[in-house]
Structure 1
Amino acid sequence: MRLSSITIVFLLSSALAAPSPSLHSASSSSCRCGIVRSSSSNRIVGGRETDPQDLPWQAALMWRGHGWAGCGATVVGRRLVLTAAHCTSGKTADRLSVMVRSGRIFNPDAESLRFDVAEIIQHSGYSEVHNGNDFSLLRLSEPIEFPADGSIAPACLPAPGDTYLGATATVSGYGMLSWKGELSVTLRSAHVSVISNAACERAYPGSIKDSMLCADGDGERDACQGDSGGPLVAERDGRFSLIGVVSWGKECAEPEYPGVYARVTEALDWIRENAADDDFCD
């Protein structure tokens, strides 16, 4: 299972820790969710290298004052970042920070920003045994001021009750290029198709819960180790919504074994219960 090997990435990231970008906020504010202003078409397993402005909500979980903590995350509000519970389990807020606006993980871009984590809010229904409710909210110590150029922007929350069945979605992260293979270290993305939980259950009998969403890359495109906690987004009417959080799967891009994500529509009430009134953008 992909999840069981995430510790490989944690160990590797500690050994390759890079100097931290400066800790500060972006200067001006433009708060609209799910908007991509970049016109770049630059190119995870089977994916392509991606300009961070094409994925302005992409974040990376970092050890505070050190390097990468082996997981991705998604900006969803001014002070809120969503990641996977298995990425924060056993960790404390005072050891973590979040990096945004960087196309590289070990030699971060000069434009990258880092924010300390003030609080970890792990979903009470998370199960390490069954991987259900694999959600963790990170409350930042200071708000992100979203710049007018759109280089940092939150993903929208998904429409309640929408299954996104059949949607083409984008998964992104800094993880490995193949199972137990080379680490990408640059931001990459890939397109996958959302499938039904019933179809996913045939690949993973007895393992698929309502709190999970599955997406298929035809055995060619998938998340991999190091992408855990990162975003699966889908576009509707020109806005991108966070529909899944990278969670687990059988190795990476295995034919007939879809990637499994935490289904964000199942956690909307929990997210809003733990958010402040001014956390979200229009």
Structure 2
Amino acid sequence: MNVLFALSALLAASTTVVAQQEIVGGVEAAVGQHLYVSGFRSTETGASTCGSSLIAPNVVLTAAHCIGRGRKFVSIGSHYKSGTNDGERIKVKRFIKHPKYNAGTTSYDFAILILEQPSKFPPVQVSFDTVAPGTPTILRGWGRTSSGGASSQLLLEVGVDSISNEKCAKLLTGYTVNEAMLCAGGKLGEDSCQGDSGGPLTVESNGSVKLVGVVS
């Protein structure tokens, strides 16, 4: 399964989206190193059912289709899908979907969440640079570890390469792939899956971490 991402341009008119819909074929992420990775959940102690990323002290980026279904808390800086063992939980006071979000085509599938108070954790840097095909990227999340399987209780990660929209359109038969989208994945057994929606796609090099997309 490939995954569709919305490039995080903070509701800018010219944002871009990447591939669509658990971290399959991944490994446990290093504890305490990816504190911007956040879980979107209905209650403070409940399980995160979508991913998200802290991009400013009181601003979180997620997928637009994750908004609703009672989700109103963000768990930031936690290694775990549920509970309060680490990190912090902050309530969302405002939900803002991209004005061009289209649920039918999943274009511009991202939104920002304004938190009631600033987080104590460092946000991730958002990149607006073009991601060339073949660029190594990393997905992180707590989604299912196989299609229809159980969700991971620990933060997982998997490396995937970006691919051209032309190749993506051939792989994602039946999905809309347009100029507002960027794809990554395409490697058998390694990808995101259900439950990873809203989570980050990053480009990392020499200690630099840049957020380039959101799992859709």
TM-score under structure 1 length normalisation: 0.65
Max Rg structure? 1
**Is 2:87 the partner of 1:119?**
no
The one-letter amino acid of 1:168's match is P
Structure 1 residue corresponding to 2:108, chosen from 108, 133, 136? 133
> Does structure 1 retain, via aligned residues, the 8 Å contact 2:45–2:83?
no
| d(CA) in 2 for partners of 1:204, 1:49 | 28
| d(CA) in 2 for partners of 1:99, 1:124 | 25
**Is 2:88 the partner of 1:105?**
no
Q: 1:68 Cα deviation (Å)?
A: 2.4
Q: 1:80 Cα deviation (Å)?
A: 0.7
Secondary structure, in 3 states, of the residue corresponding to 1:142? coil
> Does structure 1 retain, via aligned residues, the 8 Å contact 2:45–2:84?
no
**Is 2:96 the partner of 1:96?**
no
Secondary structure, in 3 states, of the residue corresponding to 1:54? coil
Q: Which has the higher helix share?
A: 1
Partner of 1:223: 192
> Does structure 1 retain, via aligned residues, the 8 Å contact 2:2–2:192?
no
> Does structure 1 retain, via aligned residues, the 8 Å contact 2:44–2:83?
no
Partner of 2:126: 157
> Does structure 1 retain, via aligned residues, the 8 Å contact 2:35–2:78?
no
- Over the matched positions of the two proteins, sequence identity in percent amounts to 33
Q: Which has the higher contact order (CA 8 A, sep 6+)?
A: 2
| d(CA) in 2 for partners of 1:52, 1:76 | 19
Partner of 2:209: 240
> Does structure 1 retain, via aligned residues, the 8 Å contact 2:42–2:73?
yes
Partner of 1:201: 169
Secondary structure, in 3 states, of the residue corresponding to 2:56? coil
| d(CA) in 2 for partners of 1:91, 1:177 | 23
**1:52–1:134 Cα change, 3 Å:** farther
Q: Name stretches of at least 5 consecutive residues in structure 1 with no aligned partner.
A: 4-43, 146-151, 248-282
Partner of 2:153: 185
| d(CA) in 2 for partners of 1:209, 1:143 | 35
Structure 2 residue corresponding to 1:167, chosen from 123, 135, 138? 135
Q: For residues 47-99 of structure 1, what are the alpha-carbon distances to aligned partners after superposition, in whole Å with 9 as ceiling and x for unaligned? A: 001134222210000113451241000011111100000100x457xx50100
The one-letter amino acid of 1:142's match is Q
RMSD: 2.1
TM-score under structure 2 length normalisation: 0.83
> Does structure 2 retain, via aligned residues, the 8 Å contact 1:52–1:101?
no
Q: Name stretches of at least 5 consecutive residues in structure 2 with no aligned partner.
A: 4-22
